[in-house]
Structure 1
């Protein structure tokens, strides 16, 4: 039986011009007793109005994927990067021992996921990576965005997690990515799907620790983000954000 985590308005909070709905992905498997889904610790679904500025601040021991779905955002960091992010340019910060960054939306508003992952080891070297995809999200086909170290992918994660996305056209059906020994966590970024007898709308997620998810069918044009997670991966709790929630078993 598949587990569904519904979008909960009560988990949304606002800081001036930006609004965040914070998800604890592990709550989809309550029997594990951990708010984190293995090393996948926190997912913020954020809306930033034009003119938002998140001033320069530090992260330690967080793996952070900035997944822009709509609009654009300017990233600046302590290594000298000043880069405009969009659905055509994504970013992974491997915060490691220390990494400083600042985000702003000077031109247009933005909608995004900020994904916080617990790294396999503390105090790795801090760095930032970028993924260019001129055509944006592919239709009716999964794109591998990020994968563990040593796996060929656009972005590298210091953890046993794969991340994919796709844009399903209305009435299209697509199988969900899978890897042996990795649990699936599927998120509806926008739109609506049916899967395994469930209807999922924007902000909903579905998973099952033991069984593979069945194919998803879109009832309208839909963007999906899929996480494959090794639930028992070794991870650290020292992260600025990722380390604060739940327990590593």
Structure 2
């Protein structure tokens, strides 16, 4: 059985110049009675106006992928990094025992995801990683962005989770990535698709749990993010966001 999780306007909250729609991925599998999809805890779909500043704040025991789809953002942190992020430069923040950072959009408005994952262990070392891809999001080709330690992914997640993205043009067809023992969670970053006789629009997600999705067809220019998750992986609940 394939379940669809729709973008819910009532889950949107605003803080001045930025707006976030929060998704609890576990609600796509109601039989598990869990707001988290295994260790995949929260997906925040954020829009930040130009001139936004989210001042220095702390994260603890969250694995956080900052996926900028449109625009750019400047990341600064307690390790001395000051790095612009965009669709051509992504960031994984492994918060561990403590990590401080701030975000700003001095040049243009920005649309992005922040994906919060529960780590396998608490109080690991805090760090940041960056992925450069000068070509941006590839068309008709899935790109591995992040994966578990030791898997040679561009960004390491301290958990059994893989993250991919793809851009599709009108009427393009593709199949979602798959790995044995991992459940697919397909998120529509932008555009619209048809999959498993369901129409999905911006902010919607679909999963079949332990059943893989079949053919995906775009019905307009579309960006998709696919997460492969071991929903039974051991994880900790100590994260300031992911542990909620």
Q: TM-score, normalised by structure 1?
A: 0.97
Answering whether residue 66 of structure 2 is matched by residue 69 of structure 1, we say no
Corresponding residue for residue 10 of structure 1:
10
Corresponding residue for residue 146 of structure 1:
146
For residues 44 and 12 of structure 1, the distance between their equivalents in structure 2, rounded to whole angstroms, comes to: 9
* Shift, 1:210, TM fit: 2.3
User: Per-residue displacement from partner, 1:28-86 (whole Å, max 9, x unpaired)?
Assistant: 00110000000000000000000100000111100000000000000000000000000
Corresponding residue for residue 211 of structure 2:
211
- Conserved 8 A contact 2:182-2:210: no
Corresponding residue for residue 107 of structure 1:
107
Corresponding residue for residue 191 of structure 1:
191
Unaligned runs of 5+ in 2: none
Answering whether residue 34 of structure 2 is matched by residue 34 of structure 1, we say yes
For residues 13 and 178 of structure 2, the distance between their equivalents in structure 1, rounded to whole angstroms, comes to: 33
Task: Look up the SS of the partner of 2:27 in the other structure.
Answer: helix
* Shift, 1:8, TM fit: 0.7
- Conserved 8 A contact 2:160-2:230: yes
* Shift, 1:178, TM fit: 0.3
Corresponding residue for residue 137 of structure 1:
137
For residues 93 and 101 of structure 2, the distance between their equivalents in structure 1, rounded to whole angstroms, comes to: 9
User: Per-residue displacement from partner, 1:12-36 (whole Å, max 9, x unpaired)?
Assistant: 0000000000000000001100000
Q: Give the count of matched residue pairs.
A: 244
Unaligned runs of 5+ in 1: 245-249
Q: Which 4+ runs in 1 deviate beyond 6 A?
A: none
For residues 113 and 17 of structure 1, the distance between their equivalents in structure 2, rounded to whole angstroms, comes to: 16
* Shift, 1:169, TM fit: 1.1
- C-alpha RMSD over aligned residues: 0.5
Corresponding residue for residue 247 of structure 1:
none
For residues 56 and 35 of structure 2, the distance between their equivalents in structure 1, rounded to whole angstroms, comes to: 28
For residues 96 and 6 of structure 2, the distance between their equivalents in structure 1, rounded to whole angstroms, comes to: 32
